[in-house]
Homo-oligomer: A and B are copies of this chain.
Amino acid sequence: MEEPLELLNKHVKEKGLKSSAQRNVILTVMMKEKKHLTVDELYSLIKKENPEIGIATVYRTIHLLCDIGIVRELAISNAVSRYEILADGNHHDHLVCVSCGKFVEIVSSLIEKEQAKIAHTHGFILTNHTHVLYGRCPECSKEVSR
């Protein structure tokens, strides 16, 4: 597997862009956290060590990383998007509790294959996907009502 930092570097060179310390910091933090972070959460983590980095740079970098395919955006109903590192061999989707917000990663090669088949049927070249299941987790299901 190719390292995210290498991928970023490669892309930057190919596009005639310049590397920057900030982008490396941002990507490194994302790799370290390995979680589904909102931009704000990511920004807070980054500020601890690098308070000089601005949130505009975080947004710009996140978009760049998504374009390259190193990071994926999770669009979530009634909430801001979350972002996560896409390490290959780590295809997964999400199960979210609509009550408490709990996040569970799920894996299904069966669904992966079916997706590819469907996209192919329609002549699409798949670049990404979002699959989020919403429901009530065991704890929240216990509560009488809402």
CA–CA, A98 to B124, complex, Å?
10
Q: Are B129 and A133 in contact (CB under 8 A)?
A: yes
Q: Which of B75, B114, B137 interacts with A75 by CB under 8 Å? A: B75
A76-B75, A77-B130, A119-B135 known; A125-B106 Cβ under 8 A: no
Look across to chain B and name the residue whose beta carbon is closest to the beta carbon of A133.
B129
For A, the interface residue count at a CB cutoff of 8 angstroms equals 36
Q: Are A114 and B111 in contact (CB under 8 A)?
A: yes
Q: Are B118 and A124 in contact (CB under 8 A)?
A: no
Copies of this chain in its oligomeric complex: 2
- Whether, in the assembled complex, A115 has its beta carbon less than 8 Å from a beta carbon of chain B, the answer is yes
CA–CA, A138 to B115, complex, Å?
17
- Whether, in the assembled complex, A126 has its beta carbon less than 8 Å from a beta carbon of chain B, the answer is yes
Look across to chain B and name the residue whose beta carbon is closest to the beta carbon of A108.
B114
- Whether, in the assembled complex, A81 has its beta carbon less than 8 Å from a beta carbon of chain B, the answer is yes
Q: Are B132 and A106 in contact (CB under 8 A)?
A: no
**Contact mask for chain A residues 58-86; partner B; CB cutoff 8 A; 1 contact, 0 none:** 00000000000000010111100100000
Look across to chain B and name the residue whose beta carbon is closest to the beta carbon of A126.
B135
A76-B75, A106-B122 known; A132-B134 Cβ under 8 A: no
Q: Are A136 and B127 in contact (CB under 8 A)?
A: yes
